[in-house]
A = this chain, B = another copy of it.
Amino acid sequence: MQQGTKAIVLLSGGLDSTTALALAQSRGFDCHALSVRYGQRHGTELDAAIRVAREFKVVEHRIQEVDLSTFKGSALTDDTVQVPDHPTEGIPVTYVPARNTIFLSIALAWAEVLHARDIFIGVNAVDYSGYPDCRPEYIQAFQRMANLATRDAVEGHAMTIHAPLVSMTKSEIIQLGDELGVDYSLTVSCYSANGQGRACGVCDACRFRRQGFVEAGIEDPTPYA
């Protein structure tokens, strides 16, 4: 890879996206981190993204505003829908309509402006909580669409959507991040983290994360409430 090759990395401040950032950097990309303030219930996640971006010394960290809370329909953006504290059947209420599509679209816009040809997203289809927009076939379809959407693509510069964690289990992701030196105490995965960034320990995201550390045989540095 050429020196100075730019990549956009979607960074929520959670465990997966932070690992994706670590991986992109280890491959030699100059990383531009993109977070989205989409009306999520708490700002704890974005605080974590800011901490992580600083720790990794990314070239630039942008926080883009797109208020999806006006659409309602998800426990993550709608105060009237409760985050469940036990496993549920099918696609859970924490699913945010079209979230990854919107995030990747904004990343695509920024990539085009920077002439970056690589976008990293930390989606994961194994412990993916049943979200449709975390599956490899979705990522492939987005990439195909992206390569018809932009001026850069029309001019022959193909865009690659990297989802390096898509087929990994949570414990494999944690092992990888550990090898890359990720400090997971900086990250927040919890759907209902409190103002001090302390995790609830019982939501889907907390359960997958906690179990991942156990299976990886790595000490869980998450600050629980």
Chain A residues near B (Cβ < 8 Å): 62, 64-68, 70-73, 91, 95-102, 104-106, 108-110, 112-113, 132-133, 135, 137-138, 141-142, 144-146, 148-151, 153-154
Contacts and interface: CB of A to CB of B under 8 A. Distances in A.
A57 B100 CA distance: 32
Contacts of A64: 66-67, 70
Copies of this protein, total: 2
A138 B153 CA distance: 11
Contact of A112 (B73, B106, B113, B150): B73
A153 B132 contact: yes
Contact of A109 (B97, B106, B141): B97
Nearest to A141: B145
Nearest to A136: B148
Contact of A144 (B70, B95, B113, B141): B141
A149 B138 contact: yes
A101 B105 contact: yes
B151 A91 contact: yes
